[in-house]
Chains A and B, each alone.
Chain A
Amino acid sequence: MNRQIARLSLIATLLILVLAVFTARWSVIDATALKNEPLNRRPLLEQQQIPRGLILARDNSKIAENRHVGTHQNKRYYRVYPQNNVFSHAAGYAFVSRGSSGLEQSQNDVLSGTAGDLGSFFDEIAGGPSQGDDIKTALDPEAQKTAISALAGRQGAIVAMDPRSGAVQVMASQPDYNPNDIPAKFAELNRQSNSPLFNRATQGQYPPGSTFKVVTAAAGLDSGKYTPDSQISGKNNKVISGVPLQNFGGENFASISLTDALTHSVNTVFGEMGEKLGKKTMFDYMTRFGFNAKPPLDYPRSQMFASGEYKNGKLLDANSPSVDVGRMAIGQDKLQVTPLQMAMVASAVANGGKLMRPHMVEKVVGPDGRTKDTIGSDEQSRVMSEKSASELNQMMRHVVESGTGTAAQLQGIQVAGKTGTAEAPGGFNDAWFIAFAPADNPKVAVAVVVEHAQQSQTGGEVAAPLAAQVMRVLLRRNG
């Protein structure tokens, strides 16, 4: 019997060898494929094992911080947003169960400490638990709260930035949500018809209305074809692109200066300008302002929209026969723009024609308190000459002094701006206002859009006062 026993012993050895080979297969040979398997949530869960970096506001108040459950190797961190709804769209959220959005998404590598593989490799060798880096943003809680309460529950958005640096200080979008509710209520929030998860400031697609006349005016002045004093006919029902165009309220103007035309937002003047300048020039200046591409903001690209002329969901270029340049010049036609883009327009004029790259993150701070990276201000584009910008600045002051935007006036501070009233579906208006202040040394630029204004209400009445409130707070703080 011993021979059979020896053979069985051999079979047992072979069976155990098979087990060893299969263990090698899963633990080493196929390990990478298994780690990439979509059902494998370990990589996500691993991110919970290190505390994510904080997101700080301009005043160092915490926008996002961590709590933990468990102890030692069972310790798991999760996100808490102490300011609740205030920065829901700007900062976004990050949860293992629901993914991430906003800064939490775009800055994930920094916040989770996975930026730079070399660093984490040495961390691992050193054996210390790695930790994410904090980010300090330009977001201003007081101005942000002012913007939210100014919108007073109406759907819309407000974006404010420092034109000198491009730092985005306010990004408010209504309705909003409480990011702390995301794990429990994501499906419900996602279903709501007023889309609280949708960031209108960067994704909202609005016709810009007359605020776009600032772009047309910039193109006219900077191309040398017009001056603020150029006399143009403001006749009602002037034929533009073969179709008569009406002024607001059917008002008839004789030959008036470009400055007066902007002050009173005369459609026919800007319609004619657009036609005379032509598509190529208009598109050139639009692109300089940042249109026709997603903004270079440090925000997830999937949550930003490229402003421009759209047909069937496709961005049109200057060669497209579908572009009605006369109506585009007054902010109608097929224009779809975001509040962020219009804040960039105001910002470029305010900063002497130089558009600064918009950004929210100012500094990256390591766990040891050391500043690892400072995001300086850099130029996105030279939109127009300093001379043209200064002329346009003067023209926009008239709008607030004596034109359609008087509701944006501030005590003792000169404001420059432009109103917009765009027809929205369902017989409502989208009320717009873009502005900057102080006009002679701008420290803040802002864009406001309020949806669903009544047909009789204009941007000057509905949106301009909101811009004034936000600017007043930011001017006090921007010093």
Chain B
Amino acid sequence: MGARGRELFGLLPVTLMITAGFTAVLISQTSGSQINKVTLTYGGIFLGACLIGHIFIRARLPHADPYLYPLAALMTAFGLVEIYRIDQSLAWKQAVIFGIGLGFFCVTIMLLRDIRVLERYRYTIAIIGILLLLAPRLPGIGKQVNGAYLSVGVGSFQFQTAEFAKIAIVIFLASYLNDVRDVLVRGRLPRISMKHLGPMLVIWGAAMLMLVVIRDLGSSIMFFGAFLALLYIATNRLSLVLPALAAFLGGAWFFANSTPHVQDRVDSWLHPFSQKLYDMPGGSYQLAQSLFSQADGGLFGRGFGEAMLTQTNGQPIVPAAHTDLIYAVIVNEVGLFGGIGLLITYLLFVSRGFKTATLASDGFSKLLAAGLSAVFALQVFVIVGGVTKVIPLTGVTLPFVSYGGSSVVANFVLLALLLIVSDRARRGRYAESGGLMR
């Protein structure tokens, strides 16, 4: 079976999964009266949309990795079922967003026939990325949510700029490090001039600024983590990576002890069941509820549609169930097994991303694919780690699963970039191996 055949085959279980998921939710919510028409309609529409994407890949990127796309579809399907279960009206919007995401996916593939075009615009892209990061802090359009500045809004339209900024910054870093890596690899440490270290200090400063100005530990970990990953790949010099990591941890420690907002976050993380922190606005309530709902899930969960989400008065028990805390709701409904299943899906996606990086022939493509995979993995770690009390909880979406237009669209663009790199990387080898490339 060829790559595209495997991809198509991979979409079948995804379609079964979404049909079964909607069936379970509908049984739970309506005693099963609507199962036949509605679930089959959902399954059918979803399969149709996926097929359009698949046909597009078949036409434009015939050699691309066959697993990335079905894995992304699987996560989207999982998210749609869970969001439908939380709030039906949001699921409709999310389905539309999925369509828009697919649109952006196709447009990206059409515009970027050669990924290396991006290198030419790296400073423009860097500036756009930084502007996107800072936009939520701008008066007039910036919106503060839970003490963090994460989105811009015009009227009812909300836009989480960090989701796109992460792609822009990775593109810039990949291109920049590809350029200067020879100097960084060969130069003895004292000799490496400020000309080459300077931009890195700027990036460190930007990460710290994000912590203080945007007040978002999550994004800060993602960006700086991606930077460290790329620095390591480009130079293989721990003598550069470790001091940078130390500088980041030192800065984070300093802000944790001096900035009240960050300090409260850390306290709420360490002591979620303290009554004072629990009652404090923006305190540990979210984390406590997240842990309670995971405890309620147990090994196998309550079943799709069975978790308790609201009280008598209609107030939610689990805040931000469809965005930040969606992983807790998933564990509540499908248990530890379901949670680990989802984590394995992410692991496979990230592994295929890194695999793409190893297959790529040019430095920029390697760094870009590895950087995108790293930032994706870090985003999963930041939000799932926050929800499971590994690190302080910050508002980042769970890629492809959480509700939210910016997140879904940005991740489909990320997927498109990975597939473009992959197609080119495997095209050569496909030819060499006489078409038997796995």
Chain A interface residues toward B at CB < 8 A: 1-9, 12-13, 15-16, 18-20, 22-28, 30-32, 34-35, 37, 39-42, 45-46, 48-49, 69-74, 76, 78, 96
Q: Which residue of A lies closest to B297 (CB)?
A: A27
Q: How far is the CA of A69 from the CA of B312 in the complex (A)?
A: 7
Would you call A16 and B295 a contact (CB within 8 A)? no
Task: List, sorted by A's number, 19 A–B pairs whose CB atoms are closer than 8 Å.
Answer: A1-B367, A5-B357, A8-B370, A12-B354, A13-B347, A15-B381, A16-B347, A16-B380, A23-B384, A27-B331, A28-B336, A37-B273, A42-B296, A42-B317, A48-B311, A72-B29, A72-B31, A76-B310, A96-B311
Contact of A22 among B295, B299, B373, B388 (CB under 8 A): B388
B350 touches A (CB below 8 Å): yes
Would you call A12 and B312 a contact (CB within 8 A)? no
- Residues on the A chain within 8 Å of B123, using CB: none
Known contacts A1-B363, A5-B370, A28-B336; A16/B358 CB under 8 A: no
Known contacts A5-B357, A6-B358; A23/B370 CB under 8 A: no
B278 touches A (CB below 8 Å): yes
- Residues on the A chain within 8 Å of B351, using CB: 9, 12-13
B209 touches A (CB below 8 Å): no
Contact of A4 among B233, B355, B384 (CB under 8 A): B233
- Residues on the A chain within 8 Å of B233, using CB: 1, 4-5, 8
- Residues on the B chain within 8 Å of A31, using CB: 294-296, 298
Q: How far is the CA of A34 from the CA of B291 in the complex (A)?
A: 7
B229 touches A (CB below 8 Å): yes
B75 → A minimal CB distance (Å): 14
Q: How far is the CA of A48 from the CA of B314 in the complex (A)?
A: 13
Would you call B232 and A8 a contact (CB within 8 A)? yes
Chain B interface residues toward A at CB < 8 A: 28-31, 229, 232-234, 236, 273, 275, 278, 288, 291-299, 305-306, 308-314, 317, 331, 335-336, 339-340, 343, 346-347, 350-351, 354-355, 357-358, 363, 366-367, 370, 373-374, 377, 380-381, 384-385, 388-390
Q: Which residue of B lies closest to A78 (CB)?
A: B312
Q: Which residue of A lies closest to B285 (CB)?
A: A39
- Residues on the A chain within 8 Å of B311, using CB: 45, 48, 76, 96
Q: How far is the CA of A23 from the CA of B291 in the complex (A)?
A: 9
Would you call B314 and A23 a contact (CB within 8 A)? no
A9 → B minimal CB distance (Å): 4
Would you call A16 and B381 a contact (CB within 8 A)? yes
- Residues on the B chain within 8 Å of A19, using CB: 343, 380-381, 384-385, 388, 390
Q: Which residue of A lies closest to B236 (CB)?
A: A4
A389 → B minimal CB distance (Å): 52
- Residues on the B chain within 8 Å of A25, using CB: 388
Known contacts A4-B232, A8-B232; A45/B29 CB under 8 A: no
Q: Which residue of B lies closest to A96 (CB)?
A: B312
Would you call B295 and A34 a contact (CB within 8 A)? yes
- Residues on the A chain within 8 Å of B232, using CB: 4, 7-8
Would you call A23 and B294 a contact (CB within 8 A)? yes
Q: Which residue of B lies closest to A97 (CB)?
A: B312
Q: How far is the CA of A125 from the CA of B101 in the complex (A)?
A: 42
- Top 3 A-B pairs, shortest CB-CB distance: A34-B295, A22-B388, A9-B354
Known contacts A27-B294, A27-B336; A22/B358 CB under 8 A: no
Would you call B312 and A20 a contact (CB within 8 A)? no
- Residues on the A chain within 8 Å of B389, using CB: 22, 26
Would you call B292 and A42 a contact (CB within 8 A)? yes
Q: Which residue of B lies closest to A95 (CB)?
A: B312
Q: How far is the CA of A2 from the CA of B313 in the complex (A)?
A: 56
For the complex with contacts A12-B373, A37-B292, A42-B308, 10 further pairs of A-B residues with Cβ separation under 8 Å are A2-B358, A2-B366, A6-B354, A9-B355, A19-B381, A26-B389, A34-B292, A39-B288, A73-B29, A96-B312
Q: Which residue of A lies closest to B354 (CB)?
A: A9
Known contacts A8-B232, A20-B343; A27/B358 CB under 8 A: no
Would you call B298 and A45 a contact (CB within 8 A)? no
Q: Which residue of A lies closest to B232 (CB)?
A: A4
- Residues on the A chain within 8 Å of B373, using CB: 9, 12
Would you call B346 and A16 a contact (CB within 8 A)? yes
Would you call B29 and A27 a contact (CB within 8 A)? no
- Residues on the A chain within 8 Å of B377, using CB: 12, 15-16
Q: Which residue of B lies closest to A49 (CB)?
A: B308
Known contacts A27-B339, A34-B295, A49-B308; A69/B314 CB under 8 A: yes
Q: How far is the CA of A76 from the CA of B314 in the complex (A)?
A: 9
Known contacts A27-B299, A73-B29, A76-B311; A5/B273 CB under 8 A: no
Would you call A28 and B292 a contact (CB within 8 A)? no
Q: How far is the CA of A8 from the CA of B350 in the complex (A)?
A: 10
Q: How far is the CA of A13 from the CA of B347 in the complex (A)?
A: 6
B353 → A minimal CB distance (Å): 9
- Residues on the A chain within 8 Å of B297, using CB: 27
Q: Which residue of A lies closest to B367 (CB)?
A: A1
Known contacts A16-B381, A22-B390; A70/B340 CB under 8 A: no
Would you call A23 and B339 a contact (CB within 8 A)? yes
- Residues on the B chain within 8 Å of A72, using CB: 28-31
Known contacts A18-B390, A26-B291, A78-B312; A5/B358 CB under 8 A: yes
Q: How far is the CA of A15 from the CA of B388 in the complex (A)?
A: 13
Contact of B336 among A1, A5, A24, A35 (CB under 8 A): A24
Would you call A20 and B340 a contact (CB within 8 A)? yes
- Residues on the B chain within 8 Å of A46, using CB: 308
Interface centre among A4, A35, A78 (most CB of B within 10 A): A4
Q: How far is the CA of A223 from the CA of B305 in the complex (A)?
A: 70
Known contacts A16-B380, A37-B273, A49-B308; A26/B294 CB under 8 A: yes
A50 → B minimal CB distance (Å): 12
A16 → B minimal CB distance (Å): 5
Q: How far is the CA of A446 from the CA of B351 in the complex (A)?
A: 81
Q: How far is the CA of A31 from the CA of B291 in the complex (A)?
A: 9
Q: How far is the CA of A181 from the CA of B268 in the complex (A)?
A: 36
Q: Which residue of B lies closest to A7 (CB)?
A: B232
- Residues on the B chain within 8 Å of A32, using CB: 295
Would you call A40 and B234 a contact (CB within 8 A)? no
Known contacts A16-B380, A19-B343, A39-B288; A9/B350 CB under 8 A: yes
